[in-house]
Amino acid sequence: MIYPRAKSINRVTATDLVNVLCFCVPAQHYSHLGRDKSKTPRNSERPSGSSRHRRKPDPFVTRVKEVEDPDEALSLFHEYRRMGFRHDYPSYSALVYKLARSRRFEAVEEILSGIEENDVRCRESLFIALIRHYGKVHLVDEAVRLFQNMTSFNCTRTLQSFNTILNVLVENDKLLDAAELLQRSYKMGFRPNSVSFNVIIKGWLEKGEWETACQVFDEMLEKQVQPTVVTYNSLVGFLCRKGDVERAMGLLEDMTHKGKYPNASTYALLMEGLCFLGKYEEAKKLMFDMEYRGCKPGPVNFGVLMSDLGKRGETDKAKELLKEMKRRKCKPDVVSYNILVNYLCKESKPAEAYKLLVEMQIEGREPNAATYRMMLDGFCKVEDFEGGLKVFNAMLTGKHCPTADTYCRLVEGLLRGGNTDDACFVVEEMERRKIGVELESWEVLARRACGADGGAMELLTELSL
């Protein structure tokens, strides 16, 4: 159903856009919108013979990994049980992973109850994954409860799960609870390692508490836990972000004296600090000097320099640096290319960015979602919607998806240019992915599809009755 503005809604589905286009545009332009849904859609990602419809019997774990819908996976679980199949740990864990990734935590709790009732012996890795999933959606109490109850699932807690819950607490702004848990670790039977202390140090630094972080560092030494390069990188990064590069350099010397050798990330942090102070040439010199100190520059180091050049509008120099990178036998990664793509698109040069996309694919570097999104936004920014459509098709082939706003900009631009066929195709892809659209953006598309004579709002009112 299509809703007028009078209805109290904020978002409209792509299906409603399909309805408007079907009402507004000539029939020949939306022939594929009314197609037989059983046919394979244009640029479809689904194989012709879906594994979901196989007739041959498959083991439960294989079947549950194939299905995408968590409800279907849950139904499959109960179906197998009704058929007399005895679920074991691999069955339970495969289902729990599927449900947790879909954030179906009520169902997860139900399955965990079944695990406990059937006395199924579980691996710690299952609970570590679940604790992390709870942490991502800020269900901290549930994560802590699960950690505490792990032993009731015939599972022994180790330092790995302890460090996981520490990290979840810190990431969810429960630093004091994490610090208290670290203090109780010995009574709980854990001996904290460098990872445990690094989590707490990082948490205090993120809050800007340098002195407290240093106290934890001192406690680490008192407990005879050796700091790692990660420990030093946290401290170096904090000082560099504050502009205190000189003090950070002192830490670099301190760590080498203690036999902890800096890595490419350590030098990248120092280089960022120098660039922040406007000392690009010093940062560049440090990158070339680091090799003499036994550390080969990596993509992260070149990326710092390329980012600084991009911020200053010197994308040509950044491209030269990419060539220098290759000459020095340092293979650019997708982040290296994305830095250039980002700044080229910001300078309204999406065509140059597209050449980089082709180049990285030739060199065996697969673009990620960020690559495509920046480039598609870049083409829309300069109103080259045909170029944007080319990127859109490549994006679908790579199984990536634009944001709802980018979808709308592309559809609106194609309609404005009279390219209704491709606009319908893009909307159809939105429908397949169930992309919601803000009402205001949707009305813009409806007006563009129906003309500027006010027919769009009349149509909305009529269809809502």
Model confidence pLDDT, tens digit, residues 30-59: 444 444 444 444 444 444 444 444 434 447
d(CA 402, CA 235) in angstroms, rounded, equals 37
- The C-alpha R_g of the chain, in whole angstroms, comes to 27
Cβ-contact 22, 33 below 8 angstroms? yes
Q: Per residue in 422-461, pLDDT tens?
A: 888 888 888 787 777 666 666 666 666 666 444 444 544 4
Measured CA to CA, the distance from residue 225 to residue 221 in angstroms comes to: 6
**pLDDT band per the 50, 70, 90 thresholds, residue 6:** very low
Contact criterion met (CB below 8 Å) for 353 and 390:
no
Per the CB < 8 A criterion, the answer to whether 203 and 170 are in contact is yes
Question: Residue 162 pLDDT more than 50?
Answer: yes
Q: Specify the pLDDT at position 448.
A: 67
Q: What is the mean pLDDT of residues 396-422?
A: 86
Each residue of 358-375: pLDDT tens digit? Answer: 999 898 889 999 999 999
Query: What are the pLDDT digits (tens) for 379-391?
Result: 999 999 999 999 9
Count CA atoms closer than 13 A to 336's CA, side-chain side: 24
User: DSSP string covering 318-375, please?
Assistant: HHHHHHHHHHTT----HHHHHHHHHHHHHTT-HHHHHHHHHHHHHTT----HHHHHHH
Task: Count how many Cα atoms sit within 13 Å of the Cα of residue 40 in the half-sphere of its side chain.
Answer: 8
Contact of 379 with 406, CB cutoff 8 Å: no
Q: Report which DSSP code applies to 150.
A: G
**52 CB neighbour count, 10 Å cutoff:** 12
pLDDT on residue 54: 44
pLDDT of residue 79: 86
Residue 396 above 70 pLDDT? yes
Instruction: Tell me how far apart the alpha carbons of residues 275 and 184 are, in angstroms, rounded to a whole number.
Output: 42
The whole-number pLDDT of residue 19 equals 60
Q: Taking a C-beta distance cutoff of 8 angstroms, is the pair 300, 272 a contact?
A: no
Longest Cα separation, the chain:
78
Share of the chain above pLDDT 90, in %: 56
Give CA separation, 448 vs 23, 284, 387, 428, 441, in Å: 13, 51, 20, 17, 11
DSSP 398: T
In this prediction, residue 130 carries a pLDDT of: 96
Amino acid found at 26: P
- pLDDT tens figures, 178-189: 999 999 999 999
Mean pLDDT, residues 11-32:
54
